[in-house]
Amino acid sequence: MPYLRLYSPHLPLEQKQVIGQKLIDITLRAFRLRPEQRYRTSVQFITRCQTRPAENPRLDIASNADFTLEVIGHNLTEREKKAFAEEAAAMINKVVPRSLPQRIASLLGIRSDSNQRVVFQFSELSPAVSDPFLVHTEHRAA
């Protein structure tokens, strides 16, 4: 099942709940998962100030992004990744309000990119770890 980690600035709990639910819905659609897999998809929120680039060097390239969404899944196609990224970025930009400096610039008539920068990191999940509920057992005849 997919595991999602959203690295972001501080977000209120209510906003995290909305984003988490929407990310799970997007995951089910984009990766064409069965409805019952909803409960085996996890979303973890990590506040940017809690991590330093040295702690996770893979995410160092995205240090100037507003949000980094790490997606760990099994056998994700490029088409699925693209569909997920497009829908997730649009959702984040819709759900999370622009920062105060962007709103002030807008009020002053300074045009800036109203979208927040969302970076995606896709990683392959080992098949042995992808379903912790399926355990291979070997039976031997005595």
What's the CA dihedral at 96, 102, 104, 107 to 10 degrees? -90
SS3 content of the chain, % helix, strand, coil (to 5): 45, 20, 35
Using the 8-state DSSP alphabet, how is residue 69 labeled? E
46: which strand partners? 7
The matching CATH number, chosen from 3.30.70.260, 2.40.50.100, 3.30.429.10, 3.40.50.300, for 3-127 is 3.30.429.10
The average pLDDT across 46-59 equals 61
Using the 8-state DSSP alphabet, how is residue 33 labeled? -
Q: Which of 13-17, 102-106, 122-126 has the lowest mean pLDDT?
A: 102-106
Query: What does the pLDDT look like over 91-105, one tens digit per residue?
Result: 999 998 766 455 555
CA dist 8 and 1 (Å) reads: 23
Query: What does the pLDDT look like over 37-47, one tens digit per residue?
Result: 999 899 999 99
